[in-house]
Chains A and B, each alone.
Chain A
């Protein structure tokens, strides 16, 4: 398979149309499995009670908010380096979904914080850097919308996306570098998971569901962008 064949918007358009429904279907099935596991299989938390089940959307949404930004920055960098039209379109298509997951992470974190910490919001490093991520997404979307020429908008947005990527390790390591109210990571590549296995399974299923959802809506959106820009 020649992957460079799909670097052109005209050849990527039909491929995106063929695979998007499959990703959408996978997202739905994984979400149903994740919600069933999270609500009917995973036990009640000994300390937090039922309210801990917010983590099944909070943690996957937070992961997606950072992952989508990194993918957006990579597409933006590819667009700057190789001047490919599809790269800018992909970055543009990813931003609204990334912003949405960032907002969901902040919203659900706030609703989890009130009963467990006693407050909806604190200006600690994790929460503040995640809020900065939301503003970076808004800035990227607003900057692109403010420039009429799409190719110039892509280049301007790309610079912001690449510079803003420095915020991702800051979010990730904020709980290590600073003394935050937000707890440390419950799941680590090196240390494994510090949570019950059924809870972990539900969280990973929801993370996969959000991932598949993001791919599906991004592919549909990039098809719209290709049509709008190139007819």
Chain B
């Protein structure tokens, strides 16, 4: 794991950060659409 940690965790971290960011943007859009 130690040799390839960057590749493995780099994949998971970017994936979940992007999904989280999509949800945040969507919640913001939802609030603006309701306003």
Q: Which residues of A contact B (CB under 8 A)?
A: 49-51, 53-54, 57-58, 61, 96-97, 100, 103-104, 107-108, 111-112, 114-115, 213, 217, 220-221, 223-224, 227-228
From known contacts A50-B8, A53-B8, infer whether A228 and B33 are also in contact, taking CB-CB under 8 Å. yes
Tell me if B12 and A224 are in contact (CB < 8 A). Answer: no
Please report whether the interface of chain B is mostly helix, strand, loop or mixed according to DSSP: helix
Q: List 8 A-B contacts (CB under 8 A).
A: A57-B12, A97-B22, A104-B18, A111-B6, A114-B7, A220-B26, A221-B29, A224-B33
Q: Which residue of B lies closest to A24 (CB)?
A: B23
User: 0/1 per residue, B1-28, Cβ < 8 Å to A?
Assistant: 1011011101110110011001100100
Give the most central of B1, B11, B14: most A CB within 10 Å. Answer: B11
Given contacts A104-B15, A111-B11, A115-B7, contact A50 B1 (CB under 8 A): yes
Binding site for A on B (CB under 8 A): 1, 3-4, 6-8, 10-12, 14-15, 18-19, 22-23, 26, 29-30, 33-34
Taking CB atoms, residues of chain B closer than 8 Å to A53 are 8
Q: Shortest CB–CB separation between residue A70 and chain B, in angstroms? A: 20
Say whether B18 contacts A51, CB under 8 Å.
no
Known: A103-B18, A104-B14, A108-B15. A54 touches B8 (CB 8 A): yes
Contacts of A54 in B (CB 8 A): 7-8, 11-12
What residues on A are CB-neighbors of B29 within 8 Å?
Answer: 221, 224
> Which of chain B's residues have a CB closer than 8 A to the CB of A58?
11
Known: A50-B4, A217-B22. 19 other contacts (CB 8 A): A50-B8, A51-B8, A54-B7, A54-B12, A57-B12, A61-B15, A100-B22, A107-B11, A108-B15, A111-B6, A111-B8, A115-B3, A115-B4, A217-B26, A220-B30, A224-B26, A224-B30, A227-B33, A228-B33
- Distance from A212 Cβ to chain B, minimum over Cβ atoms (Å): 12
| Cβ contact within 8 Å between B4 and A49 | yes
Are A112's CB and B11's CB within 8 A?
yes
**In the complex, A213→B12 CA distance in Å?**
16
CB–CB B30/A96 < 8 A:
no
Cross-chain contact B22 with A96 (CB below 8 angstroms): yes
Distance of B1 from chain A, by nearest CB (Å):
4
The minimal Cβ–Cβ distance linking B10 to chain A, given in whole angstroms, is: 5
